[in-house]
Amino acid sequence: MAPRYPVDKVIAAATNGDLDLVGSRARDIVQTYVEGFADSFSFASALVAALRLEHFQETVTLGPPYKGEFDVYICPISSELMSRYGLEHVPNWYVKLKLTENDNGDSVLVVSMHPPEKPARQRRKR
């Protein structure tokens, strides 16, 4: 099983700053761990930029208000990010995102970003 959105395009959009923390599920939870909107956005961008194919869990379909297919990842954060944001106690993050295209190119919409609420499932190797 592969992600719906190519990981390299997601990383490129996040690295270029084209990332939106949508709704309270993403924005508010990140801000409980990382102080201030600018730092929250910086952390979120760095975390999405660190995604790898092996972090992919599944693609889910959401209804309104977000509507569409979203890729789910469980991503370990680097020791540098742990140290910078004081998150040594939260080594992994759940990320649910969608890649969209607009007139300016690709953009990443993140609807969930938080520590995992349940253990990640193991992906079967083929």
Kindly report, residue by residue over 53-70, the tens digit of the pLDDT. Answer: 999 999 999 999 889 999
DSSP 102-116: ETTEEEEEEEEEES-
Rounded to whole angstroms, the Cα distance separating 76 from 88 reads 11
Provide the residue ranges of all domains of the chain, joining segments of one domain with +: 7-114
Of the pLDDT bands very low, low, confident and very high (cuts 50, 70, 90), residue 120 is low
- Spell out the CATH class of 7-114: alpha beta
Q: Please report where in the chains the tokens 């992994």 appear, as a residue.
A: 92
> Cα dist. 68→4, 65, 87, 89 in Å?
11, 9, 31, 32
pLDDT of residue 125: 45
| pLDDT tens by residue, 18-39 | 888 877 678 888 988 998 777 8
